[in-house]
């Protein structure tokens, strides 16, 4: 039984404040697919003043690997726009912003073309929220990111999982190992 409370664009109850899920339209024909991944007329994930486009990068990660096994990533000023273009990932976001109406909430998203259901969507990760991802399934996962700022190492931080205490709604402490065991 699936213990992880995975959210999708169709199932958003308990979504962290300021997180945006934008479904992507997959245009398929006998030749293959075409998917638009970021457009300037998508105001929920792009705005030239407060959610600009700064750069694009991708990373390829091997199956079962979490980027930073026991640490969260956090940005003070940058927002990330994650999507998975091959394989499948679980993206975790923890809201540790004291002033947020969803402070203390954990969200999990199963994304990518190989994810169960329709995993073709962008996850907008608000600044000052903790986040990370794990590759699930048998194939490597390719993450594409359109951050709102150019990379600046002074804006990026790491916080140990143990110092945060993020937990599932039933109180089970969150870890990538739990995600592996649950989705394995």
Each residue of 118-176: pLDDT tens digit?
999 999 999 999 999 999 999 999 999 999 999 999 999 999 999 999 999 999 999 99
Q: What is the pLDDT of residue 76?
A: 97
Confidence band of 3 (pLDDT split at 50, 70, 90): confident
pLDDT digits (tens, 9 = 90+) for 22-68: 999 999 999 999 999 999 999 999 999 999 999 999 999 999 999 99
C-alpha pair distances (Å), 94 with each of 57, 107, 160, 166 = 23, 6, 12, 7
CATH superfamily of 19-183: Jelly Rolls (2.60.120.10)
pLDDT higher than threshold 80 for residue 100: yes
Q: Is the pLDDT of residue 2 over 60?
A: no
Q: What is the 3-state secondary structure (H, E, C) of 137-159?
A: CCCCEEEEECCCCCCCCCCEEEE
Would the pLDDT of 1 be above 50?
Answer: no
The pTM of the full predicted model, rounded to 2 decimals, is 0.95
pLDDT at 45: 97
Question: Buried b / exposed e across 123-139, counting CB within 10 Å, b at 16+?
Answer: bbbbbbbbbbbbbbbee
């Amino acid at each position: 039984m699936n213990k992880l409370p995975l959210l999708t664009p169709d199932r958003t109850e308990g979504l962290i404040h300021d997180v945006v899920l934008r479904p992507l339209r997959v245009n398929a024909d006998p030749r293959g697919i075409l998917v638009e991944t970021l457009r300037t007329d998508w105001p929920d994930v792009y705005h030239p003043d407060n959610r600009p486009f700064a750069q694009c990068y991708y990373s390829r990660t091997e199956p079962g690997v979490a980027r930073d096994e026991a640490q969260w990533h956090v940005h003070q000023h940058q927002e990330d726009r994650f999507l998975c273009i091959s394989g499948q990932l679980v993206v975790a976001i923890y809201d540790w912003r004291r002033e947020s109406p969803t402070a203390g909430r954990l969200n999990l998203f199963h994304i990518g073309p190989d994810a169960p259901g329709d995993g073709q969507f962008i996850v907008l990760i608000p600044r000052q929220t903790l986040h990370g991802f794990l590759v699930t399934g048998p194939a490597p996962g390719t993450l594409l990111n359109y951050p709102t700022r150019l990379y600046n190492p002074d804006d990026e931080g790491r916080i140990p999982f143990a110092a945060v205490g993020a937990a599932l709604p039933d109180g089970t402490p969150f870890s990538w190992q739990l995600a592996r065991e649950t989705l394995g």
